[in-house]
Structure 1
Amino acid sequence: MKFRSIHKLNNRIRNYLYFFLTIFIASSLLSFVLFFWSVLNEVDDKAETWASYFQERISFLETVITSRATFDHGLTSILKVTPKGEVLNSRPYPTTLKSIAESKLFAEIKDLLPGEVRLINIVAPDTSEHKNIYLTMRLDHSFAVAEVPSQSLLPVYPRNTELFIIDKNNNCVFHTRDEYNFRDDSISGMHFSAMHVFASAKIFTPEFGGFTIVLAKDISAEFYAGILLVIISATCLAILLKRSSFLTWDLAKNEEDFARIGKLMGRVSSMPDKKLTHLPAIEYTAERIREVNWEEEAANMSFTENIGYVKATAFFAKNILELLDEISAHSKELKRSQKEYMDLVQVARSIILRIDLEGKCTFFNEYAQTFFGFSKEEIVGKNIVGTIIPKTADGQSELECLMKDLVSIPEQFPVHTNQNVRKNGSKVWVFWSNTPVYNIEGEVIEVLAVGTDVTKQKMAEAELERTKNYIKNIIDSMPSIIIGLNSEGKVTHFNSAAEKMAAIPVQDITGAAVSDAFPSISQYTPRICKATETGVPETGIRTQDILKPGTHQDIIIYPLNDGTKSAVIRIDDATERVHIEEMMIQSEKMMSIGGLAAGMAHEINNPLGGILQGIQNIVRRISPGLPANRKAAEKAGCTLESLLNYMEDRKIIKTLNGITESGIRAADIVSGMLEFSRKSDSRKAPGDMRLIMNKATTLATQDYNPNKKYDFKKINIIKEYDENLNLVKCTATEIEQVFLNILRNSAQAMAEWKEMKEKPEISIKIYNLGDMVRCSISDNGPGMNEQIRKRVFEPFYTTKSPGSGTGLGLSVSYFIITQNHMGKFDVQSKPGIGTTFTILMPAFKSSKT
């Protein structure tokens, strides 16, 4: 039988009181929260109802303005307007207004698509009050515009409720009496004003341009009733605590009585140090009973029940000698019961052992002997440490410390699982259930331990843990961002790539809302909900800059088909894919423009040849070196010299030279267009990109012209070449032309940049990249914005001043690389940082220079 302490019983009663008080407080708070939750839920329902009223009313007015009905249904006027803003007609009354093309209203509606409806609030510039509200619908060839009074926005007027309709520009287009000036405050949740308490709700309707319905209900009565309920609950709690203190005082007195009773029983039941046989033991016990003044002990008790208990004990003590014979008979019965108990313990399919306070085994049942392989003689009387628990040199292993604590304070270790060792050295996992064994004084003398073999279970758990770690390592090693969500939109799983994207500490991610942990993807919450509701993955989501500026990402939302409405979000880096797509689009554009350029070049070349030939004939006809020219001049009654002087004075000669220069320049443009439009027929041979680049830089250094406003010799050229560079199959002159175009463009851009602070610098890197040879040319010039960067390879597109360039240099270079040499040509640039041109050329059979 397990002995219990009255002290523990009193503590347990006190704990029950504290538990009851906690339950009482928690239930009161929960009732208060549920009360106000129901009130706020009612306000949300009303807000949704008024939002539906608003949508239905606007839909009805939409049918009115498109019908031919003459009645206005609350509308002030209805105009029919052309796409240019001209007023065609009006109803129900004629109007003198001819056009609204210059109005702010027309600027708002002119870009509407056919069938699109928009409710527009035109606000006066000097006030926040609404001026006019217009319901506009774009028809196939006109606009229907109706002026709507604010009171007509709802089918009925709200009563006993403050209602506001806010447009997308945060202007109030409708409001009720607004007795408490809510329009001047930001309404959200609970709102206090003039000793009144309001519960508010907001509903956003994206239709008709986007409006927010704000509803505020006066819940002062409910709020103050709740406060009163809290006060009453606190009063009751104070009274209950006061009564509880009296009860704990009584428990303390009762504990003192039981302590006296315990000492009394210990004095009566104590035995001498010398071992006695049955009869001397009985006589010794009887003498100790007579020494006790039972009446005095009863008078010292504080409770009548304890007095009765002492008196009853005295009665039984006086009659104990009469019961000795019965005790002898019962002793035999007890021995028989003990034998049955030992038989039961021995045959039980559980490990049963007893350990004394020194850690020595005092009992070891037969199943334990079979399980561990130790005989009874090998383990009984020996320490558990060193037999079924491994012993270490310092004796400070976890199991050894556990055993020391177990025999010292067994109450704190009712159950535990640890790894034990068999006699043959094999290790097993055992689940132990420990029960302290007390003597009659309530002192722990032994620990009864019952064990169950859980080795297979632990092995399964370890395998499960290894599998979980293996799967987690797989997910963490993926470059994609993986985020798992439950049905409430909270994060359940995430990989290491997702940790870098999180906006909160890693330890707080699990269980957090996805909008808090990963705010950059919170805008896709509706699509997440759609995927979990429909069970269909959401694909085709492309965004940018959610990881870092200048990057692109593809987002796929996979719903889990396990009935939990959970989802997995995968985010892949699509930056390289976007660049490839841009290059493909650019290549297609350049191929189509190439065909157009060829046709234009041939059409322009014929009249251009006639112009240049005509100019040459004019110059030849006025040349003094031809006798025929002199004869014709004399026949006309003038000399050739006077004719030339006249032409010089009137600058006719200069004009002819200008026409000749312009014709030659046009011929160069046509030649560039033809080069742009066709693949090169030049013979290709293995070439060294380093030698071609060196030649191009040498030519660029020699290319100095004051009219070009730059001196290439003043630019710092940095070259980084791969020593074992692969050859490329190319036309060296064409590649040299490409390099020279890039170098000249960089030099001119840096020379024209007035904000250039550093020394102009061009960095050239040429190295092997797999089966390709990569060449990058970077400068520290002004750079380009994204719009210019996407158009730099287009023919005739240039940012230079008129007369400084034809706009064909980079477009021809693009075709030389991509069409003639089957390579890749790309440009990356940022304003104020610089520009980098990258060329990739196929290596020539991977041969080394």
Structure 2
Amino acid sequence: MAKHCTRAVPPYPQDSVHIYEALRKSEERYRELVEHANSIILRWDKNGIITFFNEYAQRFFGYGEEEIIGQHVVGTIVPASESTGRDLRPLMDHICNNPEEHHYNINENITRSGARVWVAWTNKLLTNDDGETIGVLSIGSDITKQRLLEEELRQAQKMQAIGELAGGIAHDFNNMIHGITGYAEVIQQITCDARVAEYINHILTTAQHAAELTRQLLTFARKGNYQLTECNTHEIIRDVCAMLERTIDRRIHVARQLDAGRPHVMGDPTQLKSALLNLGINAKDAMPSGGALQFQTSNITISTPIKISDFEIERGEYLLINISDSGTGMPAEIRRRIFEPFFTTKESGRGAGLGLAAVYGTTHLHKGAIRCRSREGEGSSFDLYLPIIRDCTKLTRQRQRTPAPQQQIRIMVVDDEAIVRQYSKTLFEMHGHEVETFSCAEEAINFYRENYENIDLVLLDMIMPRMDGQQLFAFLKRINPDIRAMLSTGYSVDSKVQEILADGILDCIPKPFTYEQLQEKIEALIQDGQLKPD
């Protein structure tokens, strides 16, 4: 039998042309898809060397293809460490050697210009025909804006939590300082020893400094006492500049450019002046060898509501105050924390870290916003937004009061702090007043129901357990609609105080206060006819 030999029949030449043409077009479509995709696409070998960089990646990172191919990822598009401090070199090595463990990861990257960006990466292992790892295909999406928003949210939540903590601490501290101040005044009244009197003055001065710290904490926590009135910010800025010119290094040139046609805002002049002064002092500390400090104002219109950090700006007319300096500037990690209480870069003993925290609180209380822009070596700039008054009247001056002879009255003190009750009774009675003290609302109500006709003034603590000062005032007012009462508080939320004042309470006095301050309030009420002792 004849053997038949089979031979492979080569494809027709025409078929080969079609196959190669199809492959070529397929490869072109693939390359075009990869090159023009709206994603960062790159390929790098197991040693970290970039072997492919698509057009989008080139535009995003700012590198041309000839510049980036053959370069290591670390030092080009990946910084050695993130701004958070995380070392990225071990991470890149681990992805190269164990890419199967890093199908998805997020890390900070860096562009050719030095800008820090955040990218979410999807990584796919590349192998050869023998299954050996030869590199990684990475596809990235820019999530910088999302990351910044998340960071702002976390920062806002942290600041809110710190504010609540600060407010609670300051309230308790104010009660303690109030007791220290009170008993120091008692000793001052009964001593004839010059050395003891001198020591008492030291105690009172130290207590005043402690009270100032708690006031700054309360301002940060947005629970400070403040009184809103129409005020001209240009006058405030002139005062602040004059004060700075007299007190800071003469090598620092203080300038002002007040271009705002409508500089009036509804605010507390004292707190606004303190905020601007704090910003000026902060700028001074950033210019140890001298420089320029400038205050500028302008009017702007906000057409749509905007959010700056955790400040929300509604539509309307605003005054923009810009405070800029030519100082050392700040890196991003410090700039993010400057408004936190007790955070400071100054040497020990040169600051408590509450100045900018108080500025932050003042801004919130005035329904404004503040933003800081700064880079190392390029100075700092603060933008302060405050809602303006469309039609303002001239600022009215408080009429001068003539001192009146001190009159003795019958006072009822309600406070849950024992030291406040004890010192109040001791000190007030030393000045001829009759005083009854109570630790809780129930005792006060029972006594007032039987004796309200013999009580000239009720001094109420704002924050008490079970029934606060506002609730107790409402209850006592039902007993006696003509009640004369004053609020005493370690801190106060302005809206609460305004509510109580609207309900008929005579005045509010912040703790810690001295007897002299209380007596001034009492005399003013008597002169106005609001308090009529028998």
TM-score (norm 1): 0.33
TM-score (norm 2): 0.48
From the two aligned structures, give the one with the greater helix fraction: 1
Higher relative contact order, structure no. (Cα contacts within 8 Å, ≥ 6 residues apart):
2
Larger radius of gyration: 1
